Amino acid sequence: MPYNIFSRAFKVAGFVFLFAALGVPVGHAATSKKVTVVKRSHSAKTAPVKAAVARKKARFVMGAKNKPIMRLIVPAKPSFGQIAGLHAAQDSLDLKSSVALVIDQDTQEVLFSKNDHAVLPIASLTKLMTGVIISGARLPMDELITVTQDDVDTEKGSSSRLKVGTTLTRAELLHLALMSSENRAAHALGRTYPGGLSTFVSLMNAKAKMLGMADSVYVEPTGLSSRNQSSAHDLATLVNAAHADPMLRELTTSTGYQVAVGSRTLQYNNTNRLVKNPEWDIGLQKTGYITEAGQCLVMQTKIAGRKLIMVFLDSAGKLSRLGDAERVRKWVESIPPVDHKLSASIKHTSG
């Protein structure tokens, strides 16, 4: 921590020195990371200032009293997929996700793939496994669970509408975790599992192994940790298993849900807007995001009479993962219909 403080101080001092050398008055602005620039005539004297600003990739906005304010742009932290160069891969559908996989759920035929064996952080897609473990344990769903300080995110510092001391049923917490990706809800479910959090995480990994998810590892139940990792093929396997559970199908595709917290009623909505779209027939879904994972989405859906499993990882933007799903849907709809039962029979016979 001391290193970060002194490092920051030296950076600020460096900027003050730079602008002072260029003749740009800074006053007290350096300490607030904003530099007020005095308007000058367009003369040769302003050229060095403009060049310096361009080199620093700064931008101007109008502040109080219409004075130009310069703000330095801090580059966004890259995802693991970007670091690995996965976004350089081209595909026929021009998807924005660096990893994609589309599988026919009935025949297991791979219809589309892109970097599908890459192992990446999976963010809140983790909660799908959390739901599988909770549902499979057949624990009392009306049991009351209280959110404690242990459920507060210390990994990413994310906020939550579930204050410490909030008491909800296990069913309500599971609904919020799967539908709106509530981190404290997911953590409380794992923490209160018989045997505690360590037992719960062990069961997550044991279930993954049982399903044949050889590329997957879980270290906690929310997905906030970038050490929760998997591949597109493993996630397709998980979606297929979760889709067999009626409760998980219902909770992940619920469009909205209300919970009573003391004297207040909190309204939660699904993190995937496609569940409200009449053009989509979604049987199960889960979204996820942390910086290291990028925007992620998994779904079971029915398109043109075919039951499909879709996996999109490390998408560039919040809406681009949905755009990728739309591109895949239109592409599948354009494929001429075939007798899938006959195709599966031929494959089985030839094998």
pLDDT tens string 90-128: 999 999 999 999 999 999 999 999 999 999 999 999 999
Q: Which among 84, 88, 77 has a CA at the least distance from the CA of 229?
A: 84
Residue where a domain stops, chosen among 26, 44, 72:
72
Is 41 in the active site?
no
For 117, the enclosing helix (H) or strand (E) is none
Same domain, 209 and 63: no
Window from 153-162, 205-214, 273-282, 330-339 with minimum mean pLDDT: 330-339
Residue 175 banded pLDDT, cuts 50, 70, 90? very high
Calpha distance 234→119 (Å, rounded): 9
Comparing 230 with 57, the larger pLDDT belongs to 230
**The pLDDT of residue 22 is above 60:** no
106 with 25, same domain: the answer is: no
pLDDT value of position 55: 47
Q: What mean pLDDT is predicted for residues 150-166? A: 95
- Determine the pLDDT at residue 7: 47
Catalytic residue among 96, 114, 127, 307: 127
Evaluate if residue 253 carries a pLDDT over 90: yes
Are 280 and 169 part of one and the same domain? yes
Residue at which a domain ends, from 48, 72, 96 = 72
Same-domain check for residues 213 and 338: yes
Residues contacting residue 173 through CB under 8 Å, at least 6 positions apart: 145, 182, 185, 186, 188, 189
Neighbours of 152 (CB within 10 A): 17
Active site residue 181: yes
Which carries the bigger pLDDT value, residue 342 or residue 85?
85
Extended beta strands in 279-340, E state: 282-290, 294-303, 306-315
Half-sphere CA count of 288, side-chain side, radius 13 A: 35
Q: Kindly state whether residues 12 and 130 are assigned to the same domain.
A: no
User: On the CB side of 287, how many CA atoms lie within 13 Å of its CA?
Assistant: 23
Q: At what angle do helices 232-243 and 246-253 cross, to 10 degrees?
A: 110
- pLDDT at residue 282 above 90? yes
Which pLDDT score is estimated for 317? 76
**Region of residue 195 (phi > 0: left; psi between -120 and 50: alpha; otherwise: beta):** left
Shortest CA distance to 123 belongs to which of 70, 80, 175, 66?
80
Catalytic residue among 97, 135, 181, 225: 181
What is the chain's Cα-based Rg?
25
CB-based contacts of 317, cutoff 8 Å, min separation 6? 96, 295
User: Of the residues 29, 53, 72, which one is the last residue of a structural domain?
Assistant: 72
Residue 217 confidence (pLDDT) above 50: yes
Asked if 322 and 287 touch (Cβ cutoff 8 Å), the reply is no
Q: Which residues, including other chains, have CB under 8 Å from residue 246's CB and lie 6 or more apart?
A: none
Of 97, 124, 315, 320, the catalytic one is 124
Task: Please tell me whether residues 208 and 328 are part of one structural domain.
Answer: yes
| Residue 114 and residue 240 share a domain | yes
- The CATH code of the domain that includes 142 is 3.40.710.10
User: Does 49 have pLDDT greater than 70?
Assistant: no
Expressed as residue numbers, the domain containing 35 is: 2-72
**51 & 170 share domain:** no
Confidence of residue 57 (pLDDT cuts 50, 70, 90): very low
160 with 177, same domain: the answer is: yes
Same domain as 50, residue 103:
no
Residues 10 and 15: their CA atoms lie apart, in Å, by: 9
Annotation says 124 is catalytic: yes
Amino acid letter at 328?
V
Domain count, the chain: 2
Residues 17 and 151 in one domain: no
Q: Answer yes or no: are the C-beta atoms of 88 and 98 closer than 8 Å.
A: no
Same domain, 191 and 56: no
